A and B are shown apart, each in its own frame.
Chain A
Amino acid sequence: MPYAERTDPAEGVVTEPLPTYDLMNELALLDPERVRFSADEYDELYLCIDAGEPQGPLTVQRAFPVSEADEFLSLKDADDAEVGVIRRLDQLDAASRTAIEEQLQWSYFACTITAIHSIEVKYHVPHWDVETDRGPRVFQYGSRRDIRVLPRGRVLIRDADGNGYEIPDVSRLDAASQAIVEVYI
């Protein structure tokens, strides 16, 4: 049978576990040294490998948009086929990084809630009146599932229309906002 046997001076014939397939072969990672990203004048993303022909336009998707936003970024071509994966954004050169961040800013558009003016429940729907880093906003959501409470006071909200909001740390909001939001998270 095809399994590893070796002869040990002390123990005689010893069988050892067979080598298994290395899972890491599966990671189709792009070599950060060899790739350059750029955006054209229409804000579309292109990839050059070893100064070859630019491939694109590409879209970027995060594998871990919530927990590790800047790791494992998947690049897809117009046919939705994966071109490659960036292991970590900070491995890239500055220009490439800017080009990708520009894309991400729009494909993961969300705002950060900085203060909460009020939350009123009308007909079982909470109406939030908040201040965000992008300006004041009023929004509603339809189900408790739309609000996701993560460790360390982080809260993600998707409103009824599909817009995203984030509270990075509830305990760092002002006291009044905290008192308002407490019941909902």
Chain B
Amino acid sequence: MPIDVDDTNDELLEDLPASIDGRLQRLLAPGETIELAMASDIRADGSFGDTWLVGTNQRLLAIDPADTSSEPLALDLRDVLSIELRDFEGSGALHARTSEHGVTLARFSRTFMPKFSQTPRHLEQLVRRQQPERAAEDRIARGGADMQAGARRRCDRCNRVIPRRFGLCPACLETRKLLVRLLSYAKPYWALGTLSLVLMIVATTIGLSPPLLMGSLFDDVLAPTAAGSDLRPLLDEYDGYTRLAILVFALLAIFVSNNVMGAVRRYVLAWLGQHVTFDLRNEVYRHLNTLSLSFYNERETGRVMASITQDVSRLQDFISDGLQEVIRDVLTIVIICAILFWQDASLAALVLLPTPLLVFTTLHFGGRLQRTYRSLWRRWAGISALLADTIPGVRVVKAFSQESREVGKFERRSEELLGGELRAARLQSLFSPIMAFITRIGTLVIWLVGGSRVLDGELSLGAFVVFTGYMWQFYGPVEGLCRLNHRFQRAATSAERVFETLDSQPDVRDVPDAATMPRVVGRVEFDNVTFAYDDTTPVLEHIELVVEPGEMIGLAGHSGAGKSTLINLICRFYDVTDGAIRIDGRDIRDVELKSLRDQIGIVLQDPFLFNGTVGDNIAYGKPGASLDEIVAAARAAHAHDFLMNLPQGYDTVVGERGTRLSGGERQRVSIARAILRDPRILILDEATSSVDTETEVKIQEALERLIRGRTTFAIAHRLSTLRHANRLLILDKGQIAEVGTHDELLEVDGVYARLCRMQSELTQRKVW
């Protein structure tokens, strides 16, 4: 019977190398089958090298392929008490205990940590089969905490390390695919896109004609030659002045039409780009709002914000400018080459001679400049970080009289910055002259070769002028194309980040045709609830509890015991891993999210207020609440008095995140906000932790009234806060340690009684 494995980890049976396989077959007893084989990378003596952990239906074996002399370590599954994943700095180990001793089954570098994070649980299954008498509560697997939590460190596809700055794997960027997908956003506007493309092609072509006219000016007007320029057939029947007038007029027409077309095209492009960004920006934000909390937990806030503010605008740059510029540059180069070769192929070849040099220089310097600027940027960031650190900490600096040390630190950074700036300046001042010189080489060639041909009478003066004219227009597009790769790469990176967001699916979402939650009576049932963030160690295990309507449950326990997680599950911020939560007998996964959350009021320890007036914040959960309701809720939460002492009362703007109010004031506003919704289930997560004792007593009195008729869950570290609770639920390491009233729990003399004693001792000590 194979081990039950979820599809995320199907590598339990890795391919054993032949050398071990042979040895292993000899070791196996009759009827013994291999259930698990995993390679690790540190050997028992600490050197790097393959070792193997093999689990059979009877034993656990640790085999070192290099060590053929000694017997492999073997452990009978019937002896195993526990299996633990040990999480060390720089390495990890899988450790098993029997009743007599402990054995290290495998050691591995942290690279293998994710692979082994599930192993204790897999081995537990093997052990349980050999020890069917073991009770389910008797835990065997330990450790393996949050291995995947936080940002992804390695690419899922190629296993390369992901640069933090990018947040995604640059090697796996499929630039072309991304850009094609990006262009699909421009599809609704394809007509405009085509229009601007046509305008651009026409404008570019026309824009390239002045040197031809100039040639004609020389060969047909100023110093007419017998053959004349290519335009001669058009001018043949006129005299000199008329020809001049025609040329001047033609030039004027070109300038005017070119600029008009340019203006129209620029606006059309801007319109197109802005509309695509508008669509994309709104789509990204809309999508972000549907995503579950787990999405936000895995990412830095700044990175998520950047996808809307930076990435989307970068994409606009690409859609509206980048792509068309590429087409224009290529077109210009092709047309100029065509004209030059048509005029005089050998001279054209000479003129284009410096082009490779130009390309090389641009790429070389471009890369170096970019690197220099990046390092400069890092140094600037370092200085900002230093300042952000020491200026707010100035009291500490002065108290320990470390000013000179801080100044020294700053000067060192400042000096590094100076060095970087100077290097950039050096590069920059070299770059432009070199580029100018290279382009001048072309001129030199034309003057030398072209000039002598003019003297020889092989080349007309006009043709000479045409060559000089086009040369100047030639090098710009070449440079532009050299920077192309960098530009596309940047756009692709941004596109990937944006699409990554758009492609993420919310973990918690309505099932198809989810029913609306009727008005909640308030019976909350935890049916064998187990929950793990990221599928590793469960944060809550086998929670069994029925909360009656209108009951107040006080949640207590050490930090990290799972109290807040329990609350997150009631709000369905996350879905349970196993078991079910039922409200009034309905599984909360079967009802519409909005209809569930609409009936829950929540007060958080660090309440988040939005930048707006206090009144708006109180009414946040009930848009359109009357003034009476707002004031009544504020009074109930004891916020009215302090609000009235603000010059602008309820119209006071609270500032970003509500920072212009103190922590206690914010908590009171957020209690008012929760209560105004008239929730059927009220959740108080350390709701009064930041207020002073006197206010807390008042709020407690108020809460006693407010919780009437509602099912209430309250978390508190200060146990006195929970004295109105009908029952107390004490969590310990994700499991229910005790449930009962205050008196009952004191009688039991367990975790709660100990916490109570400690807190009363603490207050007594404080009084002294």
A positions within 8 Å CB-CB of B? 1-3, 15-21, 23-28, 61-68, 71-72, 74, 76, 80, 82, 85, 87, 148
Contacts and interface: CB of A to CB of B under 8 A. Distances in A.
A67 B549 contact: no
A19 to B, nearest CB: 5
A67 B521 contact: no
Interface string B632-652: 110110001101110111110
Given A24-B628, A68-B627, 4 more contacts: A3-B550, A20-B678, A23-B632, A27-B631
Contacts of A85: 631
A65 B632 contact: no
B705 interface: yes
29 contacts: A1-B548, A2-B550, A3-B521, A15-B521, A15-B584, A16-B521, A17-B520, A17-B709, A18-B549, A18-B708, A18-B709, A20-B678, A20-B706, A20-B708, A21-B709, A23-B629, A24-B632, A26-B636, A62-B649, A63-B627, A63-B643, A63-B649, A64-B650, A65-B648, A66-B648, A67-B650, A71-B627, A82-B644, A87-B628
Contacts, number: 99
B613 interface: yes
Interface residues of B, number: 40
Contacts of A64: 615, 627, 649-651
Contacts of A25: 632
A65 B652 CA distance: 9
A138 B597 CA distance: 52
B551 A63 contact: no
B708 A148 contact: no
Q: Which 6 A-B pairs have the closest CB atoms?
A: A18-B709, A66-B651, A20-B709, A26-B635, A3-B549, A1-B548
Nearest to B637: A26
Given A21-B706, A66-B651, A3 B628 contact: no
B710 interface: yes
A45 B710 CA distance: 43
B729 interface: no
B636 to A, nearest CB: 5
A101 to B, nearest CB: 17
A105 to B, nearest CB: 16
B631 A67 contact: no
A65 B644 CA distance: 10
B522 interface: yes
Contacts of B632: 23-27
A65 B551 CA distance: 40
Interface core residue of B640, B675, B708 (most chain A CB under 10 Å): B640
B317 to A, nearest CB: 27
A13 B645 CA distance: 51
A74 B642 CA distance: 12
A1 B709 contact: no
B709 A72 contact: no
B707 to A, nearest CB: 8
A86 to B, nearest CB: 12
Interface string B260-271: 000000000000
Contacts of A66: 613, 648, 651
A140 B521 CA distance: 58
A23 B636 CA distance: 7
Contacts of A76: 644
B635 A148 contact: no
Interface in B460-488: none
B578 to A, nearest CB: 28
A21 B708 contact: yes
B522 A3 contact: yes
A147 B640 CA distance: 25
Contacts of A72: 627, 631, 650
A74 to B, nearest CB: 5
B680 interface: yes
B417 interface: no
Interface string B697-710: 00000000110111
Interface of B: 519-523, 548-551, 584, 613, 615, 627-629, 631-633, 635-636, 640-641, 643-645, 647-651, 653, 675-676, 678, 680, 705-706, 708-710
A89 to B, nearest CB: 13
A67 B614 CA distance: 12
Contacts of B708: 18-21
B498 to A, nearest CB: 32
A1 B709 CA distance: 12
A23 B521 contact: no
A87 B627 CA distance: 10
Contacts of B676: 23
A2 B711 CA distance: 12
A18 B651 contact: no
Given A1-B551, A17-B549, A23-B629, A67 B635 contact: no
Contacts of A74: 644
A18 B645 CA distance: 36
A72 B651 CA distance: 12
B635 A27 contact: yes
A21 B550 CA distance: 12
Given A16-B521, A18-B709, A21-B706, A82 B641 contact: yes
Contacts of B549: 1, 3, 15, 17-18
A19 B651 contact: no
Interface core residue of B636, B649, B653 (most chain A CB under 10 Å): B649
A14 B452 CA distance: 108
A146 B378 CA distance: 36
Given A3-B521, A82-B644, A67 B550 contact: no
A18 B550 CA distance: 7
Contacts of A87: 628
B550 A63 contact: no
B649 A61 contact: yes
Contacts of A68: 627
A17 B627 contact: no
Interface core residue of B644, B705, B708 (most chain A CB under 10 Å): B644
Nearest to A22: B632
Given A3-B521, A63-B650, A28 B644 contact: no
B574 to A, nearest CB: 26
Contacts of A2: 550
A16 B651 CA distance: 38
Contacts of B640: 82
Contacts of A67: 613, 615, 650-651
Contacts of B653: 148
A17 B650 contact: no
A63 B522 CA distance: 35
A71 B632 CA distance: 14
B208 to A, nearest CB: 43
B521 to A, nearest CB: 5
A67 B643 CA distance: 15
